[in-house]
Every structure is written in C-alpha cells, then in structure tokens.
Chains A and B, each alone.
Chain A
Amino acid sequence: MTVRHDAFDAPDKSSDNPLSVSQNKAEEGDAKYWENKAKAATAQAEYEEARRRAAAVSAAPPEQPFKIKGEVNLGSFDFQKQTDELKNQLDTIKAERDQQISQLQQNNENYRQQMHEIELKMMEQSWQARFDALTKMLQQPQNMAQQKGILEQLSEIDKISTALGYRRFSAADAAVGGDSLSMKLAIMKMEAENARAEREFSRQMREDDRNWQMQLKKIELDAAAKTEELNLARERQKFMTNLPNTIGGAIAKGLLSRGQGIEESAPIEERVPTPPANQSNQPNPGFEAGYGEAGEVPCPKCQKSIFIGPDSTQAVCPSCGGTWPIQRRPAERVV
C-alpha cells in the first residue's frame, strides 16, 4: 500500500478536521491499489489470450498460393459445312423459284384454254341455234305456203332471229357497229383479262427476281463476312504463334544495337548468291557438278534454293524434303 503523506504540508488538510482528511486519503489509496491490480490482472489475461491465438495461427498450415484454373473454348468453325449449307439453301430457293414460275405459266395456259373454250362454246351455240331454226323452217313448209299477213311474217322472223341469238336492231346498236358487238366485247374483255393476268405474271416474276437477287446478295454478304471473320481469326492465331519469335528477335536486336556495330570496322562484302550448278537433263532429276564444285540451285520440286556441297553426293531440300543425287564430272570452277 502506498500512502503519500507530507507531515509538514498536507495539501488536502481541512482546516475544520485535518485528521479526517488524511484518513480518507489513506482509504482512497487502498482502492487505487486494488483497482490497478485488477487492471493488471485483466491485461495479463488478455495478453495470454492473444499469445494463445497467435500460437494457434502460426501452428496452422500455410495457405496454398492461389491458382487460376479454367479453360476457354473458342468453338469450332467448319467452313466446308457452312458452305454446304449455303449451297443447299441456294438449291432450295432455286427449286422454289422454278416451281413458282412453272405454276404461273400453268395458270396462264389455263386462262388461255378457258378463253378458247368460251369462244368455241359461243360459236357452237350460235350455229346450233341457226341450224335449229333452219330445220324448223324446213320441217314446216306448209306454213310457208299459207298466206300470212305482213305482221305475222314479221313476228315469225323476229322469233327466228331471237332463236338464232340476234336481237332487234336499235339506233344505239347502229351507232356502235352491229350484231357482233357483244361478241367483240366478250373477246376484248377476255383479252383484257388475259393482258391483266400477263401483267400480274410479269410483275410477280419481277418481284420474285428481286427477292431472289436480295437473297443471293444476302448470302454473298454472309459468306464474305464469315470469310473475313475466318481470315481475322487466322491472322490473330498467326500473330499469337509468332509473338515469342518476334519478342526474341526484338530482344536480340535491342541487345545487339547497344554496342557499336562491326560494320564500320571492315569493308563489307555484298551478299551474293553462290553461282548455281548445272541441272542434268536426265529422267531422274538430279544435278551435275564438277569435283569440288559447290553452289546454290533451285529445288526442282518447290523452287526453293538448295545447296550442293563441294564433295556432297546429294542435295536435300529443307522445304519439301526432296533429295536429289549429284553426279560429279571434272571440275570447271572450284569454290
């Protein structure tokens, strides 16, 4: 217990009762001591808890470094299949168009046929009526012999005329033209109908043709877009494939360009292709070269440049893999 007490100058001394003040102070000092003790005990308990937690954390196994897994499926693009589908679609459209054309032609033919049938029917009816009237007249000759009044005879003629399909001639008929007017009108009507059908047919044809052209254009555009897409994907893939190669070249170029070049140090000899050797004209293609002769020749198969060594017996093309025999003859030129 800590009691601070200045006997000579007590700061909290009461003028009324100095003794009671010092007693209170001592009691207050006791409480403070226990309070501090309690705080220390609490702090120690917290410290031990924290230590225990830290030990538990450090005892736990370390976390695995993060991993990224997954895959990207770019899908498959079968150009041949799509081309076949487009071709099938084109064939289908063509077949439908042909079918529509044949159907319209059939309709037109039907209209013509009907018109001819109507004409024939009218003529047949007309002649039939005339024939009937004449037969009737021939079968009743006695009637002709009888003396009839002019009115009766007119009435008779009128009946026969009506039976034959004629009608009474009026002033309006005289203005237009005659008896065959109704027939002409019917023919004109049919001709107009026919012309209208033909116009409808040609309009339909034009519309079909326009639709066909639009379909064709659309298909062409689709094909062009798909081809473009394919080319783009191919270029992208090529770029990605060549990227490390390009990076390597760039690194080499960068590193080599740091120092001074050697080009200035000595005269430069131009890069000249080695003079070619002769190609033999034998059936089995090969080359003919002198002993010790060397040079570059185009590959007979792929035309890439290949090399004949001074004493090599064959030339190998790295591009197409072709191997060509070399026949030696006395040297004319030695490298």
Chain B
Amino acid sequence: MKPKQLLDMGGTFLKGLMINYAPEMARGMVVELLKRPVVYKGTTRYIDTRLIVDLVIEDVSLWSLLDAKGVSMLKDTARRIGDIKWFDSDWLIDTIKEEYPALASQFLGWSKAREWLDRQFVELHSSITS
C-alpha cells in the first residue's frame, strides 16, 4: 500500500471517528481551549469567572478573544461533523462542569452570563453555516 493511500485511510478513519464521537472529542478540545490564555485589553488572562464577568458586562464576543487557530479549528471540526445541533450552551456547561465548576455555576446561576453564552453559540452557528 502506498503512503498516500495510507494517509487517505487515516483521514477517513479520523473523519469517521469524529462523526461518531463528536461530542466527546469536542469536549476534549473545549477543555484544552479553556486552558489557554487569551488577550483582553492588552493583558493576557486566563478564562475564569472574573474574565467572564468583564466579557458579559461589556458584551464582548468570546470568539474574538480566542486564538484564531483555535476558533478556526472549532469551526472546521463543526463543518466536518455536519450535524452540530448538540453544540450549544447546555452542552458546554455539562462539558466544563467537572474541570471548571465555578464557570459552569456562573452560567447556571447568573442569567446575564447564560444569555451572553447563548449569543456566543448563535454567533458561532451562524458563522459556520454562512
């Protein structure tokens, strides 16, 4: 078997894997993304409850802060998967509640944060479908 065929097979396998286990794999991706710092107002900050408070109050888009590569990776993954109805606020809260319970609690208990998060997902969905 030629190397190109092997690469094609590997790509097909990975694609199938992503379609079948999309939510679980996306969970790992999101957790990894949240570990990375973002630049906000000239300061590199980690994504924590204080940053989210600032973002919610000033209504700043989360995707504008994230690393462009990370956002494009998320979008590309979503495009490959196809059906991403499950990719919403509830899923994110459920995904981060183990590693980041305070963040999840913030979205559950503070209505403004929840609305802001919903807006972020609407924005993401529209940017993927457009």
Which A residues contact B (CB, under 8 angstroms)? 244-253, 255-256, 258-259, 262-263, 265-269, 271-274, 294, 296, 304-312, 314-319, 323, 335
Contacts and interface: CB of A to CB of B under 8 A. Distances in A.
Contact of A256 (B36, B43, B101, B109): B36
B73 A256 contact: yes
Contact of B29 (A251, A312, A316): A251
Contacts of A263: 37, 44
Contacts of B120: none
B128 interface: no
B37 A318 contact: no
Contacts of A256: 32-33, 36, 67, 69-70, 73
B125 interface: no
Contacts of B60: none
B25 A316 contact: no
B117 to A, nearest CB: 13
A245 B29 CA distance: 8
A268 B44 contact: yes
Interface of B: 17, 21, 24-29, 31-33, 36-39, 42-46, 48-50, 53, 57, 67, 69-70, 73, 93, 97, 101-106, 108-113
B73 A309 contact: no
Contacts of A262: 36-39, 44, 67
Nearest to A250: B28
12 contacts: A244-B17, A244-B21, A248-B24, A251-B28, A252-B33, A258-B69, A269-B46, A294-B49, A307-B109, A309-B110, A314-B109, A316-B109
Given A266-B43, A309-B113, A274 B49 contact: yes
A65 to B, nearest CB: 14
For the complex, would chain B's binding face be called helix, strand, loop or mixed by DSSP majority?
helix
Contacts of B29: 248-249, 251-252
Given A252-B29, A274-B49, A318-B97, A267 B69 contact: no
For the complex, would chain A's binding face be called helix, strand, loop or mixed by DSSP majority?
mixed
A56 to B, nearest CB: 32
A310 B24 CA distance: 33
Nearest to A268: B44
B73 A255 contact: yes
B50 A244 contact: no
Contact of B25 (A251, A255, A259): A251
Nearest to B95: A245
A307 to B, nearest CB: 4
A265 B32 CA distance: 20
A318 B49 contact: no
Nearest to B106: A307
A251 to B, nearest CB: 7
B105 A315 contact: yes
A246 B28 contact: yes
Given A244-B28, A309-B109, A318-B108, A265 B49 contact: no
A145 to B, nearest CB: 122
Contact of B102 (A248, A307, A323): A307
* Most-contacted residue by chain B among A244, A272, A294 (CB, 10 A): A244
Nearest to A242: B24
A304 B106 CA distance: 13
Given A244-B21, A245-B25, A296-B49, A306 B102 contact: yes
B69 A269 contact: no
A296 B57 CA distance: 17
Contacts of B44: 262-263, 265-269
Contacts of B27: 245, 248
A114 B93 CA distance: 85
B49 A248 contact: no
A252 B39 contact: no
Contact of A249 (B31, B43, B73, B105): B31
